[in-house]
Amino acid sequence: MKETMSEVNITLKDGNIIKLEAGKTLYDAAYAIGPGLAKVALAGYVDGEMVDLGHKIEADAEVNIITNRSDEAIDIIRHSTAHLMAQAVKELYPKTKIAIGPTIENGFYYDFDVDAPFTPEDFTKIEKRMKELYKKKVPIAREVLTSDEAIKLFKDLGETYKVELIEDLAEETVSIYRQGDFIDLCRGPHVPTTGSLKVFKLVSNAGAYWRGDENKKMLQRIYGTAFFKRSELDEHLHKLEEAKKRDHRKLGRELELFSINEEVGAGLVIWHPKGAMLRHLLEDFEKKEHLKRGYDLVIGPQLLKVDMWKKSGHFDNYKENMYFTKIEEQEYGVKPMNCLSHMLIYKSKIRSYRDLPKRYFELGTVHRHERTGVLHGLMRVRGFTQDDAHILCTPDQLLDEINSIIEFVSDVMEMFGFEYEMELSTRPEKSIGSDEDWERATEALKQALESTGREYEMNEGDGAFYGPKIDIKLKDVLDRKWQCATIQCDFTLPERFDLTYVGADGEKHRPVMLHRVILGSIERFIGVLIEHFAGAFPAWLAPTQAIVLTVSEKYDEYAKKVYQELKSAGIRAEIDLRNEKLGYKIREAQLMKVPYMLVIGEKEKDAGGVSPRKRSGEELKLKSVEETINLINEDVKQRR
């Protein structure tokens, strides 16, 4: 008698149910739904867990198939391509040891232990082998091993980094993936064969310490990217080329804005006159905007006694990021944040509920210990200035204050022309404060976001150690995201520092504290601005707004007079009296991204005016000096 095979119910995303023989794979489920779906399937969800198409379904389950139209698909493609790259490297350079190969925004990387850095010639060879493996459609299969089995396997292969990872995981079982002779430790999921990995490109390489620890071995990291369509890859590569041209480190040097000198120390910025002027303009703008919104300007010291940092929790939760020094046997901490001084200002006198909210604003310079390997121009430094503010308010005022900050951020981002996204980051493992306080703070931020109607994403476990936060990530002209503004809600530090106010009932109550920045690190924001505008700042931000250019030395005296008129009118002007051809002077001014070039020759001198020329190359008709000043000032007012 023939044995009847058992069947399971497969519930689809739309609620429909199909029957499937127990033990069949997710691919079989996709085929049962439709052969066309199976053809484009990459992976899927079974009862909410993302799995490979080879996953066996033994019981009733909810199933959702991932295709190239799914949001998750590109990440799977890129992760699988990282493995494809590692396979190619191992085949070409068998003595190489493999480390880790995760996906990142817009691509992936893989770290390798090799004797020498990869060269452009190596990239060509690796990409060629990857294409060969793609054409072979090598099957990619998942296996589950006990940790002991996996450790033995990778020891036999000489893959010591994988052995270390498995030992640190301390799990009973782990999953590995095989594609041909290549074996990797990975949770997956992956595409079924290398034949799904057609469009890719290796883009750069760099050194990277194993596990980010500068005391461990330096590995070689290859960055790459992958897409479904060649047109998408071409567009991405175009953006990468554009990003190279806009690199703030390159432009910062060419435009004489800043330098970072190894004689001074890594991650410490030296601002040159033009860069210092740019900073001044931003900081002046910030001060005016904060004063308009009811903030008080304050300044705190750079050093505070270690006892203060212990009281705040920074010593236990943040000291690896801090610098310390001793003065007359007393230990001090160089401030990594400005909040402690602001709390002491609040605590300097008795506060009434009628005094609240108190909004303290400081352009506070802080220092944080960043590892050398992560320092990057102005984007990641050790000494930087924050547009930092701390708002102390009653619980009843909290929602309005958070909404006011969100509106402040929105106004500023719109003025600079930035789109932005919001994330709500929750309690990390390393934190202080009660569960109740964290829940109250998180709920307050959530309510504020929802009351504004703005979309946001949850970012679990990435809050500050003292409270949850809203992170605002701006998008630049190349669609890159930068973390700048943040709003943190804190019930814990007011408790630790015993901050109080006298309520309407005559009793003492505890205020809530909001930590917030609008631009964030001034250094990072300037780095973003440089790349966003490609160094061509709008007139209101340009360190030099206009430059006076003479046709010949015959007009020097008149040019000096015009220059002085511009300076007296508050225009940030320069003058070029060199004995060079006018075309040469114009080209140099354009390279320096000066918004206006004011040409002076015989015609201009006789008319008592100048011939303005924009950095775009547009030539304007001859204008009086007064008209030119009004033209520049009108441009400044537009702030764009």
Catalytically annotated residues: 339, 368, 386, 388, 390, 469, 515
Q: DSSP states of 398-429 as a string?
A: HHHHHHHHHHHHHHHHHHHT-EEEEEEE---S
The amino acid present at 377, given as its one-letter code, is G
Q: Phi and psi for 379 in degrees, rounded to 5?
A: -75, -30
CA distance 320 to 332: 14
CA distance 334 to 322: 7
The label of the residue with tokens 């930590």 reads: 515
CA distance 275 to 258: 6
Structural contact between residues 273 and 256, judged by C-beta atoms closer than 8 angstroms = yes
CA distance 276 to 255: 12
User: Taking the CB of residue 35, how many other CB atoms lie within 10 A of it?
Assistant: 9
Cα 96 off chain centre by: 31
Long-range contacts of 566-571 (CB under 8 A, 24+ apart): 566/598, 566/625, 566/628, 566/629, 569/629, 569/633, 571/545, 571/546, 571/629, 571/632, 571/633
Q: Is 119 helix (H, G, I), strand (E, B) or coil?
A: coil
CA distance 182 to 257: 49
Which whole-number Å values give the CA distances from 617 to 418, 532, 589, in the listed order?
26, 20, 11
Tokens standing for residue 504? 């309407």
